[in-house]
Amino acid sequence: MDDWWRGAVLYQIYPRSFLDTNGDGIGDLPGIAEKLDYVADLGVDGVWISPFFPSPMKDFGYDVADFRGVDPMFGSLDDFDRLLDRAHGLGLKVIIDQVYSHTSDRHPWFQASRQGRDNPFADWYVWADPKVDGTPPNNWLAIFGGVAWEWEPRRRQYYLHNFLREQPDLNLHNPAVQEAILDTARFWLDRGVDGFRLDVANFFLHDPHLRDNPPYAHPNPIKPYWLQRQVFNRSRPETLDFVARLRAVLDAYPGTMTVAEIASDRPVETMVEYTDGPDRFHTAYSFVLLRQSFGAEHIRRSVEAMRGETSHTWPSWAFSNHDVERVVSRWAAEPSPAFARLMVAVLTSLRGTAFLYQGEELGLPQAAVPYERLRDPEGLTFWPEHKGRDGARTPLPWRADGAHAGFSDAEPWLPMDPAHRPLAVDRQDADPGSVLNFTRRFLRWRKGHPALIRGAIHFLDGAEPLLAFERQGPDGRILCAFNLGPEPLAAALPLSGVATPLADAGLPGRLHGNRLDLPGYGGVFAALDG
């Protein structure tokens, strides 16, 4: 089925922290291959593997020095091919990160481009002359702090970097750069990958006139970047022309897909813009459900806004990933297995493709990483107001009593939080009521209900913290009702039809007619007739 990704559940693997098999404290591709049976047993449909390409690791793989290789710390291309074959043998799809907005400053393209203005790569990056007073050409700021421009004395020009200065932005206005990127996509598609997660996909092109961004009155500007509206350095209309070219490449490989990461102050509208049509991305996700805002109304408003813009697009949703605080720490008053189970059920019941981040199936809270062990450049810059992303990237605990919780025989690149040991895979595997076993049962149960996979969604009115909606598909209608709060909840639902509870979904809660009786973090699924 070419559109396998619609309603799929994909498991995100952060390679550095999944499993180390060579004793260097860093996870690797053989470690992923070794645990693919575990991943398949979760009941997911595929995996998204974060960057494993050659890189100086200033931004831990998102600063790519070779688009077509594997960094030796992760293994080799042969290791990747074996992983891919193993995944496909288990019925798992494999999508990989692609970073087309920028490269590492160690990439051969940039090393050539920075030498002067008259070589074949001179226009492959975004270069600009200084103002007459020597200052940068405009007011653009970098996400990781400071101005978005770095001086290169050999060219006597500035180059653009929306992220770290070691991550110069590619000039995709140049047709030669576009061709090189499309050839990169074909390289991985020819190897057999099933698609791409496109990093910062609305940053691909910039305003060629380099106009200043307007100010924005942010209420809590921890980063100066937030004090601008990012009008001219991202989400440019020209980007969609390149998206159409990339989509045409994917269309030549039936059964492949793209999911775009969208960072925008208009997240839902931009998601729609980048996915609405046969020449756009297949699906996209934004940070709308990855930030601090939480509640039934917020989730409903986000999903309905996407559906309200157009009925043709297909969204993707995530509650956790490698860039944000883990959901049980971000959204729960107190992290608990009950809340973790609920979040798995809610995420995979929404209309869209769901992305489950490694450790979410264990209910891992955000790890405590002391300042002296931080590795993330964002955390190091904005500490202590913003502690960065390392707390979501610590190693996965496999064995509670093993050295480094079974992740590695050596000291891991980030510390193992002692609070994660009791939540290790081996402990939860032996506990029928664990978050891990709930995830396995629930995702298997979900596969038997097509309405939860591809069905339409219709929300029901209710007061916080009740989140209730219907999913309607060829097998009928299913009521999904969740108590997002820690206290018991009783409520009447405006049902259209007779509800028959589906008790085997695994969440605690009761439904009598249209009356709900839900414990804290409980939920009910019911078949609707009439």
Catalytic residue list: 199, 261
Q: Name which of 482, 159, 510, 499 is nearest 345 in CA terms.
A: 482
Give 456's strand partners. Answer: 472
Q: Which helix (H) or strand (E) holds 12?
A: strand 9-13
Q: Are 361 and 42 in contact (CB under 8 A)?
A: yes
Question: What's the residue count for the chain?
Answer: 530
Task: Count the neighbouring beta carbons within 10 Å of the beta carbon of residue 23.
Answer: 9
Q: What are phi and psi of 11, to 5 degrees?
A: -100, 120
DSSP output for 45-113? SEEEE---SS---SSTTSS-S-TTS--TTT--HHHHHHHHHHHHHTT-EEEEEE--SB--TTSHHHHHH
Long-range Cβ contact pairs of 506-512 (< 8 A, separation 24 or more): 506/341, 506/345, 506/438, 506/441, 506/442, 506/445, 507/341, 507/342, 507/345, 507/482, 509/481, 509/483, 511/479, 511/481
Query: What is the pairing mode between strands 127-128 and 157-160?
Result: antiparallel
Q: Please report the beta strands in 177-272, taking only residues with DSSP state E, as ranges in sequence order.
A: 195-198, 257-262
Q: What are phi and psi of 154, to 5 degrees?
A: -65, -30
Rounded Cα distance, 74 and 51, in Å: 10
Q: What are phi and psi of 296, to 5 degrees?
A: -60, -40
Q: Which helix (H) or strand (E) holds 190?
A: helix 175-191
End-to-end CA distance of the chain: 31
Rounded Cα distance, 26 and 408, in Å: 8
DSSP one-letter code for 415: P
Q: Are 517 and 509 in contact (CB under 8 A)?
A: yes
78-97 core/surface letters (b: 16 or more CB in 10 A; e: else): ebbeebbebbeeeebbbbbb
Helix or strand or coil: residue 499?
A: strand
Query: What is the pairing mode between strands 316-318 and 9-13?
Result: unpaired
Task: Count the neighbouring beta carbons within 10 Å of the beta carbon of residue 386.
Answer: 13
